[in-house]
Copies of this chain bind each other. A is one copy, B any other.
C-alpha cells in the first residue's frame, strides 16, 4: 500500500536511533519501545514484516529482500518506518547500509515478549539485531520483557530502555560490546533496580512431539523445558528472579580462551599433521 512520504530528519545535531525487533513491525513491543525512546532523538523503524523469533543470527544471502514503507503511528505523528522481508540481522544491515541516510548513533531492538537469557541468547533474533549493529560499529541494546502475555505491561521495560539508551548515547559502549537487557514482568513499582550480570549456564530439556498428519505421515514439533544449571547470584536468571532488571554485556568473540592452552598441548604432543 502506498504511504505518505514521511521524511526522515537525520541531521547530525540530533541522535539517530534505529529501532528494530524480531516479533515483527506490528508487535506491541516495538510500539512501546518507540514511545519510550521518543524525545531522545530521531527515531527510524526498520523491522521484519512478520515474526522472526528463534531465527538466531540468520541473514538472507540467497534471496533478495524488500523494504516496504509502513504505517507506524506514535500518538498523532507517523514515524519513518520500513518493513523488511528478512531477519532482524537483515533489517540492521539494510537500514545501516542502504535505507538510512547515515549510520545511526544507537540501535535498540525489542521490546521482545519473553526473556532472552542464558543459552536463549544464541537463538534470539532480538539479540542478533543488536549483535549485527555491534559488528557494524554501532552501540546497541537488546530489550526483552519476561512475559508472553499478549496484554503485557511494557511500562517498566520502556522506562529502562530509555534510561539505558540515554546513558549509552552519552557514554557510548566499548566497541564490540552490546547490552542484553531483560526486564521482569509486572508493575514497575515492584522492580528493585538494575544489576550487571553474566549469561547463566542453562539448557533445554527438549522433547519432540511426534504426531501424524492426515496422511499418517509422522512429523515432529519441538517443545521442552528450560533448565537452569547455574547457581550463581551474578547471572541474568538470578537477577530477574530477585526482581532486578538484568543487564548483560555481550560480545561476538566466541573463542573459549581458557581452552587454548590445553589444546596447544595436543599440538605439542605431535597431533598436528594428518
Query: Which A residues lie at the B interface, using CB under 8 A?
Result: 51, 53-62, 64-67, 89-90, 93-94, 97-98, 119, 121-123, 128, 131, 135-137, 156, 159-160, 162-163, 167, 173-174, 176-177, 179, 188, 191, 193-196, 198-199, 201, 203-204, 206-208, 210-211, 217-222, 245, 247-260, 262-264, 266-267, 271-274
Question: What's the Cα separation between A249 and B194 when bound, in Å?
Answer: 33
Question: What's the Cα separation between A179 and B263 when bound, in Å?
Answer: 10
A250 to chain B, nearest CB (A): 4
Q: Give me 28 A-to-B residue pairs in the complex whose CB atoms sit less than 8 angstroms apart, sorted by A's number.
A: A53-B61, A54-B59, A55-B55, A56-B56, A57-B123, A58-B123, A65-B219, A65-B221, A67-B218, A93-B206, A119-B252, A122-B131, A122-B254, A156-B274, A167-B266, A179-B263, A191-B273, A194-B267, A194-B271, A195-B267, A196-B266, A198-B257, A199-B254, A199-B255, A249-B256, A249-B260, A250-B254, A251-B259
Q: Are B250's CB and A255's CB within 8 A?
A: yes
Question: Among the listed B57, B59, B198, B220, which residue makes an inter-chain contact with A66, where contact means beta carbons less than 8 Å apart?
Answer: B220
Minimal Cβ-Cβ distance residue in B for A257: B198
Q: Are B256's CB and A254's CB within 8 A?
A: no
Which chain B residues border A89 with CB–CB below 8 Å? 56, 123
Which chain B residues border A193 with CB–CB below 8 Å? 267, 272-273
A273 to chain B, nearest CB (A): 5
Find the residue from A62, A208, A219, A250 having the highest chain B CB count within 10 A. Answer: A208
Q: Are B54's CB and A58's CB within 8 A?
A: yes
A256 to chain B, nearest CB (A): 4
Task: Using known A-B contacts A64-B219, A274-B188, determine if residue A208 contacts B97 with beta carbons closer than 8 Å.
Answer: yes
Task: Using known A-B contacts A66-B217, A67-B220, A249-B256, determine if residue A55 contacts B56 with beta carbons closer than 8 Å.
Answer: yes
Q: Are A208's CB and B56's CB within 8 A?
A: no
Question: What's the Cα separation between A221 and B250 when bound, in Å?
Answer: 29
Question: Among the listed B93, B119, B251, B262, which residue makes an inter-chain contact with A174, where contact means beta carbons less than 8 Å apart?
Answer: B262
A92 to chain B, nearest CB (A): 11
Q: Are A167's CB and B119's CB within 8 A?
A: no
Question: What's the Cα separation between A51 and B245 when bound, in Å?
Answer: 40
Which chain B residues border A201 with CB–CB below 8 Å? 176, 253
Q: Are B119's CB and A135's CB within 8 A?
A: yes
Question: Among the listed B177, B208, B220, B255, which residue makes an inter-chain contact with A249, where contact means beta carbons less than 8 Å apart?
Answer: B255
Q: Are B58's CB and A198's CB within 8 A?
A: no
Question: What's the Cα separation between A220 and B119 when bound, in Å?
Answer: 32
Question: What's the Cα separation between A115 and B206 when bound, in Å?
Answer: 31
Task: Using known A-B contacts A248-B255, A271-B167, determine if residue A94 contacts B162 with beta carbons closer than 8 Å.
Answer: no
